[in-house]
Amino acid sequence: MKAVLVEKFDCIENIVIKDVAKPDLSTGMVRVRIQAAAVGFVDGLKVQGLYQTKDPLPFTPGSEFAGIVDEAAADVGGLAPGTPVIGMVRNGGLAEYICAQAQDLFVTPKGIAPEVGASFFANYLTALYALSARAKLQGGETLLVLGAAGGVGIAAVQVGKLLGARVIAAASTEEKRQFAIKYGADAGVDYTHEGWRDELKGLTGGHGADVIYDPVGGDLSLQAFRSIAWNGRHLVIGFASGIIPALRFNLPLLKGGALLGVDLAQIGRREPDVRDQVIAQLFGWLSKKTLVPVVGKVFAFEEFHDAFKAMTTRSALGKMVVRIG
């Protein structure tokens, strides 16, 4: 089979598709013929060896995928060959086949295309878990989403609206702000503008943001926290800017604000019941078309380099997807 193979940490231009052995089944595993895989910010870091944990070499990047069950181990039930599934794993998605633990696979709701299934899981699971389980977002509260036009941000915009919040999208261009508004944001602010916090203050009547959804990091995080409402909650999702901010502890004291970390990789192990509840709610929304996930640009397998490049540019809207099947 063919797979993107990282044999040494390098820039994406130097990584190629190679012929590798089709993965063998073992106990508790399911082999899936992949139809589509997502490319996220973390994947770009992993390929270069810049992520906080390094995958053993060689490896195939891609943690989110959608496909069709090819074969299941004898001890696995409920996942017969031909069953459409969505999966999220450590790596291996940018390949024609993958073997995954049965508990990491979920039957795809009817009517969901592979490109949608591949692009939705991590972003929307993170958004709903963060906003509902961590921040306890309430209807009528104000949610500020940083980097609102990216795959992570647009998921928070949509989920925030479904939870009844007033959503303000912070993005760097008018195109991005209008993109976020198209998918549910009530207003947008240009965080590259020196007076953006004054604009936010005006939009909230001086109240500030009850919840801040922050996948960006850097100086923007510090500025946003200074605009948090009393008893506000700042969700730390990631550091797309590449800079981990240092917050002075007097600010949470003066603002009455809370800093809440969200690590998707640990939810299944530490809070499996909560994760299952969140997934059930997401799949319910998907089945009823209450939630229609945003898919960014879709690339052919041979164009995977372009998917990585698009994901890292400031012009990217939504999440990048590679069609494999």
131 and 248 in a single domain? The answer is yes
Please tell me the predicted confidence (pLDDT) of residue 95.
98
| 38 and 75 co-located in one domain | yes
Judge contact between 318 and 298, C-beta under 8 A.
Answer: no
- Residue 42 shares a structural domain with residue 83: yes
Predicted pLDDT of residue 311: 79
Domain count, the chain: 2
* Together in a domain, 73 and 140: no
Q: Residue 231's domain is classified under what CATH number?
A: 3.40.50.720
Q: In terms of DSSP H, where are the helices of the chain?
A: 41-48, 114-128, 151-162, 174-182, 196-203, 218-225, 250-255, 264-270, 272-287, 304-312
Question: In this structure, what CATH number is given to the domain that contains residue 29?
Answer: 3.90.180.10
Residues 79 and 136 in one domain: no
Compute mean pLDDT per 10 residues along the chain, 325 residues long, and list them: 95 93 95 96 87 89 96 94 95 97 92 90 94 97 96 95 98 94 97 94 97 96 97 94 90 94 89 92 91 91 93 74 92
Look at residue 215 and tell me if it is in a domain. yes
Residues 177 and 258 in one domain: yes
Give phi and psi for 222, each to the nearest 5: -65, -40
Q: Is residue 288 part of a domain?
A: no
Burial status of residue 192 (CB atoms within 10 A of its CB: 0-12, 13-18, 19 or more) = exposed
Amino acid residing at 271: E
Residue type at position 118: A
> What are 83's two structure tokens?
């069953």
Q: Are residues 82 and 192 in the same domain?
A: no
Intra-chain end-to-end CA distance of the chain, in Å: 12
pLDDT recorded at residue 315: 61
Residues with Cβ < 8 Å from 58, sequence gap 6 or more? 5, 6, 7
Give dist(CA 268, CA 247) in Å, integer.
Answer: 29
- Contact status, residue 233 vs residue 224, Cβ threshold 8 Å: no
At residue 182, the pLDDT reads 96
In terms of domains, do 141 and 250 share one?
A: yes
Indicate the residue type of 226: R
Structural domain range at position 65: 2-108+294-323
Do 134 and 160 share a domain, yes or no? yes
Which residue matches tokens 């496909």?
67
pLDDT of residue 314: 59
Same domain, 126 and 261: yes
Q: What is the 3-state secondary structure (H, E, C) of 23-71?
A: CCCCCCEEEEEEEEEEECHHHHHHHHCCCCCCCCCCECCCCEEEEEEEE
Q: Are residues 174 and 298 in the same domain?
A: no
